[in-house]
Structure 1
């Protein structure tokens, strides 16, 4: 029987099991390597090596392997790496230096899809005559990230556009990766003792569905674009059209991202774009009743005219009415050193469960990373300050983890806390000097009252 007329299997489909196996094998290699390093560390301790030196070596080797593996993957592993990369400023220099370049790579890049795969997606989503709509297309991606890549093109009406295409199988890969990463939280805790990894992975898993839904992303981006239309400092590209796995927006020419400013920016550039970054984060809730909830530097583009462009609205926190005024009131009370009011307010908002008692001095110490920048008219963020705050909070003493274990983070505040923490980390990476208090007075309800 001849098979000459039989349909040949799609090489893309036949490669899916192989890629899935490869992804699983790479992630599975992490705990195996971790076990070996831990055993080696115990052996060195037995022969007299100092405990701190052994821990640093284990941390370094673990972190190197983590980012070597994450840097090769898309899906949830890439998304997780991007989320963690904003905390680079909180880590000791001797631990960060060997893989700082890997952080930047995670923030801005990922291996591209084959051109043939991209064209198949366009035909499936826009129809066989998709080139009548997308009349020009650069097959080489202009950017690539965790769940999709971006191509430059021209729409039939003459507008230059950015075409974001979701990776085939992104949903399944993302969910699988995040489940696996959640199980590896103990290993991540060794390399990153200041970051509670398991809740971060769980939160990212909850957001996967929204980020994969380009209809939701288009809706959010339209709202931001409308709210910031004509803004002298912030640019949000307009939505042209979308399908289930394609999002087309107006093209925004940029000369790089905040990642480049972090790496090579001048002091004035760091201050300027740091201020615009902070203004956007706090202005969004008032104007749009949403928070851009994916604060990593690759999403913030540096424009030739000095403005800041903002992309990627897959992860947003919806805050009807804007940020709760209680946040501003409690922050102002902390700035005024009225911690009796702070403790009472935290209890009313559910941060302190009934029956939990906590000393005002401990709350003062624990909240210092959020309060200190708001205490000064002008504040300089830097890595040393961020490391000091992160290391103090991660200590097992009362003012560190002892206090953290008594504090409950209500679900409605999860993304707000993540964005605020991530924002402080990026400002610290930038080393920006910013009129932070003035930005809060302008944009944070309750703070200036």
Structure 2
């Protein structure tokens, strides 16, 4: 395998033969290139990544035949930055106006009043204090329990993304997933391995690279790298860790499958995932615009497609052919185990996410309408009381007596201190 040592090698077109690497000099100043060459040779050992009796020399470009080479994928790094910039432009000039036209309006939020004691507890100790902590904080600040509850609700709401941001993010992902799904179908529709996965192993690894497959692979890898770049700014849901794990596994799968010429089976994995993702993003968009009927219908369709592609087709077609049929004419090797391990990690994530989908489907069947996304942190209203402190005391004549703020050394403060020490008044 040729060793890329210059930018020209990194970003050379896959349609042109890979240039031979420069021969290292014997001068001491050339130690670094020689170390890089040794590391590269150790990393890409044939016995690790290729089937037995196969070598990298067989995959060198010759006689007009072009093969996949790892350095082709380095072009995904600058392309990922282009996608980040394109996303910013899309959300500002397409997503935001589209959301306003469809009726997406951000909820007016009342900011929490500046309070150093409560802010320090919010940032350092926890966003949701326990009852005893809430009582102690109320006493320290000279507030009622209800006022302290309201401060924490408003402070939590300040950190939650607004509805228009959610819509813009969903619209960008919908546009990308829909384009890649349509593009993937057009790339693979006339290929034999789309309908018969066992054909992925015909004459492997001596399978030439198709330019359209290269560009599709490059776009998919760039997109998932861009998702990692924008992680600090994206909406964080309750399955944030699982999403990050999914991005890393996907990037590893795309890079590894391209480097070892597993493009055929890798393209099937990409197409199966894209077939359900755009439906989920469309469902989110209609949910944010309050088109509940369309949202409910799309969610049912998405649930079926997700179940069929990722819990039926993925294990019975993809994992089956990579685990059994891929080594019918050759023995197992390290790359075989590594690739199947990544696929099994994806399948575990599929089962986890379908569990969440199933819970939402059960709620839908019970209530007749789609419930909120159980992965999302729902904005709290000022009218919610968290079950801690009533707004006022109900009197026999139906009048309500509002509580009065007590001084820090008054009876309310002493009661709050007993609550903080674990003493709970009897009911």
Normalising by structure 2, what TM-score? 0.28
Relative to total residues, which structure has the larger helix share, 1 or 2? 2
Higher relative contact order (CA 8 A, sep 6+): 2
Relative to total residues, which structure has the larger strand share, 1 or 2? 1
Greater Rg by CA: 2
